[in-house]
Chains A and B, each alone.
Chain A
Amino acid sequence: MASGIRDKVAILGMGCSKFGERWDCDAEDLIVEAYQEAILDAGIETSQIDAAWFATAIEEVHVGKSGVPLSVALRLPNIPVTRVENFCASGTEAFRGAVYAVASGAADIALAVGVEKLKDTGYGGLPQRGAGPLNDMIRNNGSAPGGFAQLATAYSEKHGVDMETIKKAIGTISVKSHANGAKNPKAHLQKEIPLDTVLKAPMIAAPLGLFDCCGVSDGSAAAIVTTPEIAKSLGKDNRITVKALQLAVSNGVESGHNSWDGSYFLTTRKAAERAYKEAGIEKPRDQISMFECHDCFSITEMVTMEDLYISNEGEAWRDVLDGFYNADGQVPCQIDGGLKCFGHPIGASGLRMLYEMYGQLLGRAGPRQLDNPTFGMTHNLGGQPHQNVSSVAIIGHEGA
């Protein structure tokens, strides 16, 4: 059994651009905006970075392939730069690369940057694109909300929860995220909305309405990581360390074998189980102070609450309606507004989630600051319920 990543790597600095429809920005502008904050926070020079990981998912609509766009944008000193892509979980992949480089001793200080410039496609929602010549012959037509909407019908069938109750619960999730996003100046959407507005919104993919879908945004986020020892030597006394970093990827069972019922994420459960073990967390519902999950759609957030073992299976809708996940609830979820309101520039999202957890742990979250959080968890998912990559990261105070 591997010894795991717990407390081996510390976050030296983080940055995040304003997310939104950044009509005046190219990807380069967004990268520099996030990086400047991160390097300032880290208190180092660019020349001290040994290696970098760069996350973009839909590179064909903005920067193109390879690590070159990051190296050029930041004028990195010819260090190794690796571009990573793993659907919408790409941001966490960049973080994994940087963290593992430090943990292995290959780098003293490593950089992870994620960016996505999505608003140059001419339409709302994610760009639709081919999946390769064979997949294009046999794979269904459908949008992202269409793929995730499947969860609702399967969940309703499995747990006997009627669609009206599900609609109300997932609507309440969006209302909560809008309330949180309203307190976040970097968020794409900063407006509170009433439940009625959510329930009466136009249908995108039944049963998901407009407000059940997250924003598609431009944005970038960055993390600089190092060893706790180097962080200490650089004067960082309140150190936030990585407790767990796990990834689980579908192998075709959900899409091709009838053992999966379509109501949950097989991968998330596996990643969460491994992450809790790696972090030494035994009772996540009691020990996790807060989390950011991949709420690309409200229904995703609802089933993920169960897949992360915070809510019992079949009962997340009840916790949601009870306010358990609200800012003043027991385990606040999406305290920064989540993908729903902070926005979803794909390659940046995993790092954006960590940025919020990091800020909360350091008491920097301003009007949305929570009381003394210990562990912050992020869940960054890519793909569709029946075929996906799911990552879970946990960070906290060193030694916690």
Chain B
Amino acid sequence: MVGIKAYGGYVPRRRLPRSVIVEANGWFNAGIKGYSKGERSMCNWDEDALTMAVEACRDCLNQERPDDIKAIYLASTTLPFTDRQNSGVLGTALNLGQNMMTMDITSSQRAATSGLLNALSVVKGAGGSALFATGEHRRSQTATTNEVMYGDGGAALLLSNDDVVAEFVGAGQIAVDFVDHYRGQNADFDYNWEERWIRDEGFMKIVPEAVKAALDNTGLSAGDIDHFAMPGTIRNIAGMVSKACGIAPEAARDNLHNVMGEAGAAHSLVMLVDCLQDAKPGQTIMVIGWGQGCDALIFKTTDKLSTMSNRQGIKGHLAHRKEETNYNKFLAFNGLVQQDGGLRSETDKQTALTTLYRNREMVIGFVGGKCSQCGTVQYPKARICVNPNCGAINTQDDHRMAETSATIQSWTADNLTYAPDPPHHFGMVAFGEGGRMMADFTDVDEGAVAVGDEFRMVFRIKAADEKRNFNKYFWKAAPKVSA
């Protein structure tokens, strides 16, 4: 039976209290004053949909490296590249080899649920497993309802026919070009229509049709649904829809509005992962994807759910939280304010694509070398072993550095170099399996770094080449997610 073999989640560590947004912008749009409760997640300056997807996938794989992955899908409407396959970068970052299909799925808030449905049928038919990832870095204009409602996050699912923790039971889909909002080509922000119309003519009419189709297709009844995971920023919309569909009111799941906001196309799977983290074996989950129609997917958890290895998922990342009360940082990290980075920020950040291609595994995949003669792990991988007592030539095997611990040996907080979030922390880190590097740090708090701290490596934006619309990605050391 095809289904979900493993899951992972990601929510950026920083949370912006909505009261901070209201305090800054309530004077201009009194309409947002009713939304001052709770907080929304926000990307660090070096995070985007792709980096969050990488982290969600790493959480999902949880150090394991299945050798039967035949496809990597990435669903998002905020991918960093319009014409460079983002899932290809994801695959390289995960260093899972290149004998597989990679595919980006985009253009709708239900990109993730529709893509997941397709991926499930491919895995069912073709066998093997597939990694399905999603991430969304939502941008909005200031002083808008979107600004308070949105959040950033990602999720990942490992799909397989074997050992699934949640079996895919079936689905219903409705395709209707109902435009509650849209974002045109090259536009930065969403354009929205009236919420009452979206509620009455959209959610309340279209979602129940998809729910009915899913129930009809699977032979289940509304009363069988234990968890109803439906995103939606309209207050209590999941409760109203579930009631209209005959689903038990207590089945409607918390949409995480209070703790992270809505992560766009990723949010259905964010909610699914959150659900899997507290569902019990034998329960039925319905996941709703909304956007120019509706997807309703039904999963049934298996006994394997309770024996699955521990991971952070959504709940762990939600607990790994840092309150950010500086609204200007939110603006800056989202490119919503023009900053003078100073003359030091003007260095050219062009990427030599030839160099990147030759070294893609080293740079994007964070693959170093391990000397077959003396066993020394080293980064970067080189022709001659770095061990002063070895020096063997052409003896280094590929060695992935990303999943080992990174212990701080020296560090500083640099106020002089240009950094989007000064002071810039960096230092020498020693990897658990050997090797070291002078690494940039991210997600650290000033005054909370010490020699001996054990960090982990994360995939992040190293520098944005704004002149050429290209992100340089690399790996940085960050505090461990300790929920």
Interface residues of A (CB under 8 A from B): 121-123, 125, 128-130, 133-134, 136-147, 149-154, 156-157, 202-208, 252-253, 255-259, 261-262, 384, 386
Contact = CB atoms under 8 A, between A and B. Distances in A.
B355 A150 contact: no
Contacts of A261: 409
B436 A123 contact: no
A255 B437 CA distance: 6
Contacts of B451: 153-154, 156-157
B474 interface: yes
B428 interface: yes
A256 B435 contact: yes
A262 B411 CA distance: 10
A165 to B, nearest CB: 16
A128 B435 contact: no
Contacts of B452: 157
B388 A259 contact: yes
A161 to B, nearest CB: 13
A262 B409 contact: yes
A252 to B, nearest CB: 5
A206 B428 contact: no
B424 A386 contact: no
B459 to A, nearest CB: 13
A153 B355 contact: no
Interface residue tally of chain B, by bracket?
Answer: 35 or more
Nearest to B472: A137
Given A128-B417, A146-B412, A141 B343 contact: no
A150 B428 contact: yes
Interface stretch (B259-267, B268-276, B299-307, B379-387): B379-387
A292 B298 CA distance: 75
Query: Which 10 A-B pairs have CB atoms at the shortest separation, nearest pair first?
Result: A146-B414, A133-B352, A149-B412, A150-B410, A143-B416, A154-B410, A143-B417, A133-B355, A205-B414, A256-B386
Contact of A253 (B344, B347, B386, B472): B386
B355 A140 contact: no
Interface stretch (B90-98, B115-123, B317-325, B356-364): B356-364
Contacts of A125: 344, 416
Interface in B327-372: 342-344, 347-349, 351-352, 355-356, 359, 362-363
Specify which of B414, B439, B462 lies most central, judged by the most chain A CB atoms within 10 Å of its CB. Answer: B414
B378 A257 contact: yes
A256 B437 contact: yes
Contact of A141 (B348, B424, B437): B424
A143 B423 CA distance: 11
14 contacts: A137-B351, A138-B362, A140-B426, A140-B437, A140-B438, A141-B419, A141-B440, A141-B463, A202-B415, A205-B412, A205-B415, A256-B378, A257-B376, A257-B388
A204 B416 contact: yes
Nearest to A259: B388
Interface string B399-441: 0000000000111111111110001101110100011111110
B343 A150 contact: no
Given A149-B414, A153-B411, A262-B410, A128 B347 contact: yes
Contact of B412 (A122, A153, A258): A153
A130 B410 CA distance: 24
Given A138-B362, A153-B411, A256 B379 contact: yes
Nearest to B440: A140
A139 B451 CA distance: 20
Contacts of B347: 128-130
B348 A130 contact: yes
Contacts of B424: 141-142, 146
Given A141-B417, A150-B410, A257-B387, A386 B438 contact: yes
Contacts of A205: 412-416, 423
B413 A206 contact: yes
B379 A140 contact: no
A142 B413 CA distance: 9
Contacts of B428: 150, 154, 262, 386
Contacts of B440: 140-142
